Amino acid sequence: MTTRIYLDHAATTPILPQAAAAVAEGMACWANPSSPHAEGRVARRMLEDARGRIAKSLGWDGEVILTSGASEALAIGLGRAKRTRRLVSAVEHDAVFRAAPGADVLPIIEGEPDEDALAQYLAAGPPPVVAVQAINSETGTMLLAHARNSAIAMVRDAGGLVLVDASQAAGKYGLADADMIVVSAHKLGGPPGIGALLLHDYAMVAPDGGQESGYRGGTENLPGVLGFAAALEAGGLDSWATTVEERFRFKDRLYEAGEVIQPGVQCSHIFAVAHAALPAAAQLIRLDAMGFAVSAGSACSSGTLKRSRALAAFGIPGEVADRTIRVSLGWSTTADELARFADAYAGLAQR
């Protein structure tokens, strides 16, 4: 194989040309947006214009706190929300658990939040913050596909707040009707190092001084913000090089050679598949040597030897999880690349 094929877009996706051009534009405007002089005011206008474009592209009519990425947005939302208890779904990204150490854990049943367990938790104490991701980064499960209205309504009726980590969904699917939403630019074709916490009202979280209306300290990343806005405006799934039908046909080809890992409703760009015989580490080594970049889970944990906490919470047996890899698609993925990978995966055991 003369050219490599990248299928690890859930970890990060290549920057879109429109976003790269916008970053370059921001680099040319080097003034600090918080400075009062003319140069600073120009930078501030560009920053606020991009903030509005981000909100508009996402269909968000609340506040936008610009952050260094999803992890910082989670730290603000979960760490400073004005509620005394924290409840997070069992399949959340590690960054959620770091942002809410000691949080109670909400079980997952058939790919969705356990509403009976949620009701019991809500009845047992003061109103909490409840974190449920939109799309799981290891399996592509859409956790709120069916429960988004009832689960969110349950929390709100109890006086709680709902935080949705939309890192894998924003720019691809519509946002959940949550109180706080986390977005990461490098997952949707924007630059790394920029993200946002969307919230309906600043009063939901406690300020701690600094920029971003006092909710996030640090000089604003103008080039990143401009690239973020441009990536969103470049288009979602409809602008990708593959169609939904082509992506699901690819999934079917994978599952002809492996075991389905599909708890709940499946998105069209992240697939988990367990090989019949080879452990995940052996698959990654062979595929990498053949020119394919895939992973065995989220980028923050795939370098460890631990079994996936998320797969276990979805009810996937350990020996199946040990043979599971993740194949994730992006805006630049072509149908030919999918066909070549499917052929390689089908013959992997013979290599």
* H or E element, residue 325: strand 324-328
Bridge partners of residue 87, in order along the sequence: 104, 130
Of 45, 95, 101, 102, which is closest to residue 70 (Cα–Cα)? 95
Alpha carbon distance 33, 229 (integer Å): 17
What DSSP string describes 283-298? HHHHHHHHTEE-BSS-
* H or E element, residue 274: strand 270-275
Residue 180 sits at the vertex; the CA angle it makes with 175 and 186, to the nearest 5 degrees, is 60
Phi-psi region of 198 (alpha: psi -120 to 50; beta: other; left: phi over 0): beta
The sign of the torsion formed by the CA atoms of 113, 117, 120, 124 equals negative
Q: Which of 90, 145, 175, 300 is catalytic?
A: 300
Query: In terms of C-beta density within 10 A (0-12 exposed, 13-18 middle, 19 or more buried), how is residue 338 classed?
Result: buried
Asked about 267 being catalytic, the answer comes back as no
Residue recorded with tokens 């969705």: 112
Of 173, 170, 87, which is closest to residue 127 (Cα–Cα)? 87
Alpha carbon distance 271, 133 (integer Å): 17
Bridge partners of residue 161, in order along the sequence: 129
Alpha carbon distance 250, 261 (integer Å): 14
Alpha carbon distance 46, 53 (integer Å): 11
Alpha carbon distance 164, 182 (integer Å): 6
Of 265, 226, 194, which is closest to residue 12 (Cα–Cα)? 194
Q: List residues with catalytic annotation.
A: 300
